[in-house]
Structure 1
């Protein structure tokens, strides 16, 4: 069965963006960017919510030729990686993406049982729809030293707690990664 990872840059107070939707405080330095590039190579399928897909599609397929090598590399990785985009409003998706308009939970269950690799889920709302069903196997928080005071929370309100087990901590120059496994 495929493993599903939910990872995001997160503020100390638990937000993945600020009240205006900005994520500029998560810009990675070269060390962290290389880590993300290497990690992304290991991902078999990337699951995106609509907002994250639109944000990624605005930049990564169009990385300028004069951009740093590490950014050009991720742009190529992102455009080539198989993606499943969950949206009820998009009519089409590009860059090796498949659009799913209904029942994200059932589609993710199907994808998990269809192989034995690693998938990632991107987008707080999509992840929030999967958490109550126990579909997320690993959480990777890239904790930034900033307090935003509001924005989109990484974790939704839940009817019951999700128990996690700390599997790894890693210190980067700009963030601390906390990796947890679901029990």
Structure 2
């Protein structure tokens, strides 16, 4: 059975992007890229909302990566090797391999996907992650806290949802980013 892991770069004040929709403050250095590469190696399926998928699909092509370090090109390979599910009512089709569209978020279908998966799953995109949190589907949170306050924008974590967490791991990077990994304690 796979775990569903919510993973994100977030500002110290808890946002995925600022009020203008920018997340340029979260551009990873080489050490952060290495961290995400190692994390993503264990993901068999990524669940995305439409906007997150549209941001991530750049990794489908290597054309723009020729001048980037090997660690960045490696991330593209890892991303392409995972299956992807995009939840969208408006997306007509997908432009990446190993990708399918679901028109609505079905908690029972996600539970079944977790139960039948031999590897972990990730969920990305604030809207779709909120649904997963509300339905008790998220097993872990992997957050990279960036040393910046953006003052507002898209919240990284759901509002109005109470979750008890258990710290599993943490680390400080040289650039001031702090990694925390928490298990979600599900009530019995």
TM-score by length of 2: 0.91
How far off is 1:67 after superposition? 2.1
Question: 2:60 maps to which residue?
Answer: 61
CA distance in 1, matches of 2:180, 2:106: 26
Give the 5 Å matches for 1:24-35. Answer: 24-35=24-35
Contact 1:3 1:116 in 2 (8 A): no
Question: 1:101 maps to which residue?
Answer: 103
| Partner SS for 1:44 | strand
Q: Unaligned 5+ residue runs, structure 1?
A: none
Give the 5 Å matches for 1:103-118. Answer: 103-118=105-120
CA distance in 2, matches of 1:51, 1:32: 23
State how many pairs are aligned: 181
CA distance in 2, matches of 1:103, 1:78: 22
Confirm whether residue 147 of structure 1 aligns to residue 149 of structure 2. Answer: yes
CA distance in 1, matches of 2:105, 2:45: 18
CA distance in 2, matches of 1:96, 1:90: 16
CA distance in 1, matches of 2:9, 2:127: 15
Q: CA RMSD in A?
A: 1.3
CA distance in 1, matches of 2:118, 2:23: 32
Per-residue CA deviations over 1:73-110 (Å, capped at 9, x if unaligned) read 11122123111111111111122111111233232112
CA distance in 2, matches of 1:124, 1:173: 27
Question: 1:48 maps to which residue?
Answer: 48
How far off is 1:61 after superposition? 1.9
| Partner SS for 2:100 | strand
CA distance in 1, matches of 2:108, 2:24: 34
Confirm whether residue 173 of structure 1 aligns to residue 174 of structure 2. Answer: yes
How far off is 1:157 after superposition? 1.6
Residue range with higher mean Cα deviation, 73-82 or 163-172 = 73-82
CA distance in 2, matches of 1:11, 1:103: 27
Q: Unaligned 5+ residue runs, structure 2?
A: none
Question: 2:85 maps to which residue?
Answer: 84
Contact 1:140 1:179 in 2 (8 A): yes
